[in-house]
Amino acid sequence: MSIDVDTARRVAKLARIRVDESDLPALADELNGIVTFMEQLNAVNVDGVEPMTGVTPMRLKRREDVVTDGNMPERILKNAPDAREGFFAVPKVVE
Amino acid sequence: MLDLTYTAPKPKVIQGAKDDWELVIGMEIHAQVSSNAKLFSGASTAVGAEPNSNVSFVDAAMPGMLPVINEFCVEQAVRTGLGLKAAINLRSAFDRKNYFYPDLPQGYQISQLYHPIVGEGEVIVEMGPGVARHVRIERIHLEQDAGKSIHDMDPTQSFVDFNRTGVALMEIVSRPDIRGPEEAAAYVVKLRQILRYLGTCDGNMQNGNLRADVNVSVCRPGQYEKYQATGDFSHLGTRCEIKNMNSMRFIQAAIDYEARRQIAIVEDGGSVTQETRLYDPDKNETRSMRSKEEAHDYRYFPDPDLLPLEIEQAWVDDIAARMPELPDAKKARFMGDFGLTDYDANVLTAELEAASFFEAVALGRDGKQAANWVINELFGRLNKEGLAIGESPVSAGQLGGILDLMQKGEISGKMAKDLFEILWTEGGDPAEVAAAKGMKQVTDMGAIEAAVDAIIAANPDQVEKAKANPKLAGWFVGQVIKASGGKANPAAVNDLVAKKLGM
């Protein structure tokens, strides 16, 4: 797998990271280096091995269906760049 | 129990400018799970709260916060799966669906792309007596709802409320088995009915608790059968997805418009582009959501914050053992046990509360008569007043009491209707009210006979006419009942008049 400049531009856009056009070739190179490094793992034979999600044999933690949280709109909104009448205010987005 | 079997309905055919066309429709229904708290946080799911008050730091995606799954939401999804006769996956897993939007603070939705909790099932969608479409369910997965954006409070800003953010949704995905706009609406009605019986989703479409994405394509007659035989989608047309509809009427109108739009394109020599579209009810048209195209690269990957969801068969069995009776079974039982018609059974099982009301009235009584009274008198009156069954001023016990008085011959049908009216407005015990109001059908044959004799003696001319023309005997019956103040039993009067007049 190889990452070209177009792919790097697309990945940056999807991640909402602004990258200057002039920086894209270097970014693509860097990403290629990372992917190539990871591809060493392809050498390992994993036939019949279940994908692993953790290293400890734990059961997914559950909670009961009880309301234990919330009712703190001022704390939720505290770091918002703009908040009005209890809402987050953002530049207009409409379909 | 009566077993209901069905034949498949004919697919809808739309005539284009040149050819006949058929529709192929698959649906994704987003049903909000009925629960107190959200899927991964302890914040409330209640509607109508102040903005951003039912929000935890998990929902707001504050750094370092971790999701913990609400076990009841899992139970609800399993219950729904069982209700749709579906396979339950004892091992499922959560994935991140990545996209940016102001109402999605995490920057991703936690969903189940690769390993959903529920597998294949089925919904029987009735399209008339003995006619039904079997719609296969492909899967049901659990996922988070997004927040709500309000665009009309400020000219330059959108306002965002996270109260809905993180509420549990079940996405119920059907196979492309639906063959027309009416079937699509009927499918949603049936699914909603099952969910409400199960208590897993309240089905409130106005609040957006049940929303539908509809995939529509068109094909020439015969092509769908080829797809069915081979499972090869290339026999079908290119589909478009119409997003986020929450009204049966809009679903039908949108499908109809979209099918005609696609037919016009193909007949014109063009080809349909696979895309996401929005339905505009004001203009009755669908239009492309071009802005969504690039965003469609969701880069799904397993959520590293959540271990796989493993449930035990014994737990599933326990949920299965506590399943309520579902609409199809209840309908079959009503037809079998109470002798109801297909139509009456459908009407009475549409809502669980109405079905329970009917059953309380019908128990130990004449089922057909109970059905007539519940449907015609009670539902008629409720509709007129705009009341729900739960708000009925007349209880099942009171209505049953009226039917008992009629059954015993103590009151006539006419009196029963009057009594129903009094109970509706004033309440009370049926037998006591009937006694207090002097509602008593005269069944004392001696009294009726005396009245018949009196009328006959006073009207010799009519007697002669009636003997010549037996149809005129009805006049005597009417006179006797009138003389009794409406209390004489019409059947008894009829018999006596006929006997006295020598007919």
Of A58, A72, A90, the CB nearest to B160: A90
- pLDDT at residue number B107: 94
Which residues from B are below 8 Å from A10, CB to CB? 297
Asked if residues A28 and A8 have their Cβ atoms less than 8 Å apart, the reply is yes
| Residue pLDDT, tens place only, B23-64 | 999 999 999 999 999 999 999 999 999 999 999 999 999 999
B161 min Cα distance to partner chain A (Å): 6
Q: What are chain B's domains?
A: 13-305 (no CATH), 325-436 (no CATH), 445-500 (1.10.10)
Q: Cβ of A2: how many Cβ atoms within 10 Å?
A: 9
Q: Contacts of residue B296 in chain A, CB cutoff 8 Å?
A: none
Q: Nearest residue on chain A to B280, judged by CA atoms?
A: A95
Average pLDDT of B285-293? 76
Q: Do strands B121-128 and B131-144 pair parallel, antiparallel, or not at all (unpaired)?
A: antiparallel
pLDDT at residue B473 greater than cutoff 90: no
Beta bridge partners of B442: B488
Q: What is the pLDDT of residues B127-149, one digit of tens each?
A: 998 999 999 999 999 999 999 99
Residues of A within 8 A of B70 (CB-CB) are: 62-65
β-strand A62-63 against B69-70: which pairing, if any? parallel
Q: Which of B116, B121, B119, B166 is nearest to B141 (CA)?
A: B116
- How many angstroms separate the Cα of A2 from the Cα of each of A40, B50, B284? 14, 50, 47
Distance from CA of A36 to the nearest CA of B (A): 20
CB B434 within 8 A of CB B440: yes
- Residue A54 has φ and ψ, to the nearest 5°, of -165, 165
Across the interface, whether the CB atoms of A69 and B42 are under 8 A apart is answered yes
Digit-coded pLDDT (tens) for B149-174:
999 888 899 999 999 999 999 999 99
> What's the gap in Å between the CA of B113 and the closest CA on chain A?
16
CB contact under 8 A, A62 and B70: yes
**pLDDT at position B327 over 60:** yes
Chain B residues in contact with A82 (beta carbon < 8 A): 157
Instruction: Give B413-464 as a 3 state SS string.
Output: HHHHHHHHHHHHHHCCCHHHHHHHCCCCCECCHHHHHHHHHHHHHHCHHHHH
Mind giving me the DSSP string for B315-363?
Answer: HHHHHHHTPPPPHHHHHHHHHHHH---HHHHHHHHSSHHHHHHHHHHHT
User: Under an 8 A CB cutoff, do B153 and A87 touch?
Assistant: yes
Report which of B55, B375, B390, B204 is spatially closest to residue A83, judged by C-alpha positions.
Answer: B55
Domain extent listing, chain A? 5-42
- From chain B, the residues in CB contact with A93 under 8 A are 101-102, 149, 151, 158
Radius of gyration (C-alpha) of chain B in whole angstroms: 30
A66 interaction partners in chain B (CB closer than 8 Å): 36-37, 42
Tell me, what's the pLDDT at B1?
A: 45
B360-379 burial, b at 16+ Cβ within 10 Å, e below that, comes to ebbeebebebbbebbbebbb
| Closest listed residue to residue B9, CA positions, set B131, B117, B100, B190 | B131
Instruction: Say what the pLDDT of residue B455 is.
Output: 82
Q: What is the pLDDT of residue B378?
A: 95
CB contact under 8 A, A92 and B100: no
The reply to whether residue A59 touches residue B160, judged by beta carbons under 8 angstroms, is: no
The distance in angstroms from the start CA to the end CA of chain B is 47
Instruction: Name chain A contacts of B100, Cβ cutoff 8 Å.
Output: 16
The closest CB to that of A68, out of B42, B149, B155, belongs to B42
Asked if A60 and B71 come within 8 Å (Cβ–Cβ), the reply is: no
Write the pLDDT tens digit of every residue in B107-125.
999 999 999 999 999 999 9
At B429 the pLDDT is 93
Contacts of B501 (CB under 8 A, 6+ apart): B456, B463, B466, B467, B470, B473, B476
How confident is the model at residue B41, as a pLDDT?
98
Quickly tell me which residue has 């309908």 as its tokens.
Answer: B331
Q: Is the pLDDT of residue A60 over 90?
A: yes
User: B445-458 and B473-483 helices cross at what angle (nearest 10)?
Assistant: 120
Q: What is the pLDDT of residues B373-430, one digit of tens each?
A: 999 999 999 999 999 999 999 999 999 999 999 988 888 888 899 999 999 999 999 9
- In which band, very low, low, confident or very high, does the pLDDT at A2 lie, cut at 50, 70 and 90? confident
Between chain A and chain B, the number of residue pairs with CB atoms below 8 A apart is 136
Of B394, B390, B398, the closest CA to residue B355 belongs to B390
Q: Where are the beta strands (DSSP E) in B145-245?
A: 148-150, 157-161, 168-174, 210-219, 240-245
Lowest mean pLDDT among B70-79, B253-262, B448-457: B448-457
Place of tokens 């939705």: B109
pLDDT bucket at B443, cuts 50 / 70 / 90: low
Q: Would you say B330 and B355 are in contact if contact means Cβ atoms under 8 Å apart?
A: yes
Q: Determine the pLDDT at residue B93.
A: 96
Q: Alpha-carbon distance B178 to B125, whole Å?
A: 10
Query: Which tokens go with B262?
Result: 């696609």
Question: What dihedral angle (degrees, nearest 10) is formed by the CA atoms of B336, B339, B342, B343?
Answer: -140
From B149, B299, B308, residue closest to A60, measured CB to CB: B308
CA distance B363 to B370: 9
- If you average pLDDT over residues B342-350, what whole number do you get? 95
CA quadruple B425, B428, B433, B437: dihedral sign: negative
Q: Give B253-288 pLDDT, tens digit per residue.
A: 999 999 999 999 999 999 999 999 999 999 999 998
Contact predicate B280/B287, CB 8 Å: yes
Q: By three-state DSSP, how is residue B113 classified? A: coil
Q: Which residues pair with B43 in a beta bridge?
A: A69
Contact of B399 with B428, CB cutoff 8 Å = no
- Nearest 5°: the CA angle B138, B34, A70 is 125
Q: What percent of chain B has pLDDT over 70?
A: 97
Instruction: Check CB contact under 8 Å for B52 and A87.
Output: yes
Position B295 scores a pLDDT of 56
Q: Would you call A12 exposed, middle or buried from its count of C-beta atoms within 10 A (0-12, 13-18, 19+)?
A: middle
Interface contact flag, B37 A16, Cβ < 8 Å = no
Global pTM? 0.87
